[in-house]
Amino acid sequence: MIALPLVAVQSGHSGIVHPRTGPELSDIALFVVAVAGVWMVRRALRKRFAKTASTKKAHVEKD
């Protein structure tokens, strides 16, 4: 229990502040994953509603 604060301090950063010069690799990776997720969801929704629209169109043509 006494060592817990020591572990918490050691797991942090070194305390040296580096100026930001541009996006980090993790920022770019997060952006790519977000774009891929949006693309996959939009594709799935388009496919889902295309099936619904074609089913509704078939029912309208039969009537």
Asked whether residue 7 carries a pLDDT value surpassing 60, the answer given is no
Q: Would you list the domain boundaries of the chain?
A: 26-63
In angstroms, the CA 3 to CA 10 distance is: 11
Asked whether residue 6 carries a pLDDT value surpassing 60, the answer given is no
User: For 17-52, how does the pLDDT look when each residue is reduced to its tens digit (9 = 90+)?
Assistant: 888 899 999 999 999 999 999 999 999 999 998 887
pLDDT band of residue 58 (cuts 50, 70, 90) is low
Say what the pLDDT of residue 12 is.
64
